[in-house]
Amino acid sequence: MLREARIYSLANVGGQAVLVLEEVNGPRLLPVWIGLYEGGSIGMALAGQKFPRPLTHDLMLEAVKRLGAKLEKIVITDLKDSTFFADVHVRQDGEEIVLDARPSDSIALAVRENCPIFVAEQVFAACPEMLKPITGEEVEDFKKKLETMTPEDFFRDLKKKEEDGGKTEGEAE
């Protein structure tokens, strides 16, 4: 099952970019560590910045359009060995074409085209549960947690969750 998501935040942390997606009709957050270049590309697109010369993601979208196709959606499909996987869904002449891509590149394209982002339920289920903050205090606590969390911390927590049979801290049997 696919869950619609949108960008909750984007930050540079310890020499890497962290893109946090939020479940649109649910309480969950999904942090995805991406490269600084991709993070910068996403950030510039979110801010509406245009450059005199096309960036790689702009070039790819222009090629898709000139070939008579349209970006329909992107889907974060899986998480294997600490690596997220994604598909870019393009439609051309009524045919759906699915392209394997990195989530960061997929999201950089989606932001530019205002196309929907989806996350497979199995990806949310496989990650340590992070719920959307509700109060100002919870927002600040979440920001502090992100500032100190490394990809290694995230995947260590993920491994612990798997070893505990999918239970997160504080969950009853």
Top pLDDT among 141 and 73 is at 73
CATH number, residue 28: 3.10.690.10
Domain-embedded: residue 170:
no
What letters, b where the CB count within 10 A reaches 16 and e where it falls short, cover 100-139?
ebbbbbbbbbbbbbebbbbbbeebbeebbbbeebeeeeee
The confidence score (pLDDT) of residue 70 equals: 97
Closest among 112, 100, 102 to 65, alpha carbons compared = 112
Position 173 pLDDT exceeds 50: no
Domain-embedded: residue 34:
yes
Q: Which amino acid is at 5?
A: A
Domain-embedded: residue 69:
yes
For residues 93 and 52, give the distance between their C-alpha atoms in angstroms, rounded to a whole number.
Answer: 31
Domain-embedded: residue 148:
yes
The confidence score (pLDDT) of residue 172 equals: 37
Enumerate residues 6+ apart whose C-beta is below 8 A from 136: none
Closest among 11, 6, 86, 8 to 43, alpha carbons compared = 11
Domain-embedded: residue 173:
no
The confidence score (pLDDT) of residue 144 equals: 81
Domain-embedded: residue 72:
yes
Domain-embedded: residue 59:
yes
Provide the residue range defining the domain that includes 38.
Answer: 2-163
Position 83 pLDDT exceeds 80: yes
Indicate the number of domains in the chain: 1
For residues 53 and 147, give the distance between their C-alpha atoms in angstroms, rounded to a whole number.
Answer: 33
Residue 55: count other Cβ atoms within 10 Å of its Cβ.
Answer: 18
Q: What is the pTM of this model?
A: 0.77
Domain-embedded: residue 25:
yes
The confidence score (pLDDT) of residue 165 equals: 65
